[in-house]
Structure 1
Amino acid sequence: MEELPRVLQQLWGFEARSRPGPKPAFHISDIARAAIKLADTGGLTAVSMSKVAAELGFTTMSLYRYVDAKDDLYVVMLEHAFGVPPELDPGEGWRQQITAWAEAFRDGLRAHPWILQIPVQEPPLSPNQLAWMEAGLQAFDGTPLTPQDRLSAMLLVNIYVRGTAQLTANMLTEPDAVEVADRLYTQRLTMLATPDRFPGIAATLEVPPDGGYAGDFDAAEFGFGLDTVLDGIQSRIDRLES
């Protein structure tokens, strides 16, 4: 059987039990925290082996005792940025559980938007990442979905969450600034998207009697899209149960 990459051995605690030599100067989690700090402050481009080493107060060469390349650094960052998945209540229905899972995933991406810049080169294999996958799959316990159907449904929700996060990843993050930007965009769009030229767009600018999306527009949009995705999964469940 092919040996696990060294970074995965460390994340799973395998290498720590068998690696000879002097006691490590720091732990793989220290590297993760340093790299995440850099990324949270300056984006993914701010992360390099030399800068992470400097953040830890060590030389770049010493970092190579723990990670072989920048891709390994990304694995470590993802593992610790997301942490463990949310505790899902098995007493609730599948829809409530996968919604809680999706919202926690969304919150993780919002807290660390640079995650979306990391290329997805292979399925997750680190402990926390597999725990997230397992939690998403177990949300469908009690449904007639096959194991493969559950995987596909979980991936569909995953793709939706990543997609919506990607759309807003480059927007301003300060609440007041976002409110001002939204208001300015609406004003300009109202000027340009006149009903005679763009009737569909103009209709979205009309405030319905109930006030429409009062409060958190972004949350309302996310909820609408997620509900639509889950409606599709429910339709599949209904066909299997009929």
Structure 2
Amino acid sequence: MVVMDENELPRVLQQLWGIEGRSRPGPKPAFHISDIARAAIKLADAGGLAAVSMSKVAAELGFTTMSLYRYVDAKDDLYVVMLEYAFAEPPVLDPALDWRGRITAWAEAFRDGLRRHPWILQIPIQDPPLSPNQLAWMESGLDAFDGTPLAPQDRLSAMLLVNIYVRGTAQLTANMLTEPDEVREADRLYTQRLTMLATPDRFPGIAATLEQPLDEGYAGDFDVAEFTFGLNTVLDGIHTRITRQTP
């Protein structure tokens, strides 16, 4: 174990990295930081981020609220722990794929993680990622661009662009119904009402989209088709940049 001054790294990150800082007075820890993560994630999955509090997490573990402060100093630290364990490790990208196939697989895995735990989108982004799995996701996204002429900073910018796109689309659909039959009924009702209100004389652009039948891809899964269309458009832009830099 590496011993370091706790002032050099927040205590919650020391625990996530397995770094031993100065021990605090009191009884020996009764549980692991991962136990806190599982309890908090369970509460968030059931009731959203608002359902998570230090007292509720402690109750879920069967301990007092004060006992949690041996592990996390504040609720923001609790969020760090939740993110670390909710996402877990990034996907293993197939080296046989080209950069576009690899970053697509990365983006889809990121999207799936947000769908499993939509409360992640409610956590405010205050600091860059520093926990093990979060950095592993970043490294994986950068690795997707191996073999391209993009400079390291450009690879980071391209990865962040894909990240922002995935988060944005996930945010738009986070509160939508998830049951297929309910989604189809909601889509049908929305289309019906939109047809009544968006008349060609007042909203010609919207009306034109209603007159155009959905293609096979959209008819199968509108959400997936929209995600794929947007992602491909983003990757087209990155491809153009790569092409310009290719000798």
Which TM-score band (shorter chain)?
over 0.9
Which residue of structure 1 lines up, in the alignment, with residue 180 of structure 2? 175
1 CA distance for matches of 2:66 and 2:109?
A: 36
| Aligned positions of 1:32-111 closer than 5 A | 32-111=37-116
The structure-2 alpha-carbon separation of the partners of 1:75 and 1:15, relative to structure 1 and needing over 3 Å to count, comes to same
Alignment of 1:135-146 (within 5 A): 135-146=140-151
Give 1:174 deviation, angstroms.
2.4
Q: Quick one: distance in 1 between partners of 2:54 and 2:84?
A: 17
Cα separation, 1, equivalents of 2:180 and 2:13: 38
Whole-Å separation in 2 of the counterparts to 1:145 and 1:4: 32
Cross-structure match for 1:152: 157
Q: CA deviation at 1:175?
A: 2.4
Q: 23-32 or 157-166, which moves further after superposition?
A: 23-32
Query: What is the TM-score of this pair, normalised by structure 1?
Result: 0.95
CA shift at 1:236, angstroms? 0.2
Count of aligned pairs between the two proteins? 241
Q: Output the CA distance in 1 between the equivalents of 2:59 and 2:216.
A: 52
- Partner secondary structure for residue 180 of structure 1: helix
3-state SS of 1:15 partner? coil
1:95: Cα distance to partner? 0.2
TM-score with structure 2 setting the length: 0.93
Deviation string 1:192-233 (CA, Å, 9 cap, x unpaired) is 112222111112112438556121100000000000000000
| Per-residue CA distance 1:114-173 (angstroms, 9 max, x = gap) | 101100001100000000000000000000000000000000000000000011112222
Identity %: 84
After TM superposition, give the deviation of residue 178 of structure 1 in Å: 1.7
1:25 corresponds to: 30
Secondary structure at the counterpart of residue 87 of structure 1: coil
The CA deviation at 1:89 is: 1.0
Counterpart of 2:114, as a letter, is L
Q: Give the conservation status (yes or no) of the 8 Å contact 1:6–1:15.
A: no
What is the deviation of 1:176?
2.0
**8 Å CA contact 2:91, 2:109 repeated in 1:** yes
Q: Is the alpha carbon distance of 1:202 and 1:183 closer, same or farther for their aligned partners in structure 2, counting shifts above 3 Å?
A: same
1:124-143 alignment to 2 at 5 Å? 124-143=129-148
Structure 1 stretch displaced more, 185-194 or 52-61: 185-194
Shift of 1:23: 3.5
Amino acid at match of 1:169: A
Contact 1:79 1:126 in 2 (8 A): yes
Indicate which of 194, 197, 211 corresponds to 1:192.
197
1:122 aligned residue (113, 127, 133) = 127
Matched position secondary structure for 1:196: coil
User: 1:163 aligned to 156, 168, 173, which one?
Assistant: 168
